[in-house]
Structure 1
């Protein structure tokens, strides 16, 4: 049964690093009355630039993208444009991902494997009520969850862990973050001690599980 038309014209900026995924979502959204995709981005930096110049009503973004990821982009957009609604469209269904997204400003979370009608439902719900969560996500949010990376580590430690998991050496990390290699090594030792992990492989697996880097 087709839902009633949206009460307003909804301008959407869509972000995903896979062109085929963006094309599919854009095609589905084009069939929704009152909804228009006005621009597309393939990474977080490009997304922020588009939002700054276009100020859309709604941003739909993936989390895992090259360069600046979706979570970082969401936080930046929320700070600059608090009126813009931010809806995550992701393949990851862990509570950790969802909580990180929401903590940074997302108001909804939609699974990529959701049926097509749910895309329209999510857009309408976010614009009308300010939030939407896929049923599987809503159910998991009600269940007890393990601590997130942000609960277990400081902001700087999370930043360094992400770079370690991307295969960066201490000197590279130090240069990128404006630290000394020795400081990076101290942070790495503290991260390992805090997480009770003993090698880079284990740190990388942790980072992937917590949604800090792509698998």
Structure 2
């Protein structure tokens, strides 16, 4: 029996996934979470075999949660289920430690197969995602920013304070501070102003 935890901020999607997976005899749903922070607590309590996780969520996004999960529990197996098929999201998830990447237009059979593969320790990528990687369409940098870090960076470029960013993105102030420090480190900047300047030069953000 594969014990699965579902991490998805939209309740109707969570309920749909549960309805689909409950019909599969080899899978048992052990819990659900609406954001990355809840996912960490859920994992600590249940230690599921596979975590089925969305990427764009409030409080703590998917890539950040995946990174923390894999750091705290190296045995964690995360299968991303998302609508995003862009290079930015794919590499953010895979670099964070995701073992699989599936799109939400996948069939129920594809979803079950992906969960079973990841549970066995295999990597499972949606065909379109695998094709992009094999074709070399993506050319990620080792220290590129996560989707959430890019959101924070955009707001830094608009002159927002940490408190304002926390309010606008609906995340904790301490989480914003962590993102800012990560941004500075990845961009090689010593302060927020320099980080914004570097980001503009690298065309990561636009101030217009």
Would the TM-score normalized by the shorter structure come out above 0.5? yes
Q: How does 1:96-115 map to 2 (within 5 A)?
A: 96-115=88-107
> What per-residue deviation string (whole Å, max 9, x for no partner) do you get for residues 151-207 of structure 1?
556x8xx83x4214357634337985288xx9312211121122276415xxxxxxx
Q: Residue 4 of structure 1 aligns with which residue? A: none
Q: By how many angstroms is 1:111 displaced?
A: 0.7
SS at 2:202 equivalent: helix
Q: How does 1:5-84 map to 2 (within 5 A)?
A: 9-84=1-76
Q: Residue 171 of structure 1 aligns with which residue? A: 161
Q: By how many angstroms is 1:146 displaced?
A: 4.5
**Distance change >3 Å, CA 129–CA 163, structure 1 → 2:** closer
Gaps of 5+ in 1: 1-8, 201-215
Asked whether the equivalents of residues 85 and 130 of structure 1 are also in contact (C-alpha less than 8 Å), the reply is: no
- Alignment of 1:135 with 2:127, yes or no, is yes
198, 201, 205: which one aligns with 1:193: 201
* Cα root mean square deviation, aligned: 2.7
TM-score (ref. length: structure 1): 0.76
Asked whether the equivalents of residues 170 and 185 of structure 1 are also in contact (C-alpha less than 8 Å), the reply is: no
TM-score (ref. length: structure 2): 0.78
Aligned residue-pair number: 186
Asked whether the equivalents of residues 132 and 138 of structure 2 are also in contact (C-alpha less than 8 Å), the reply is: no
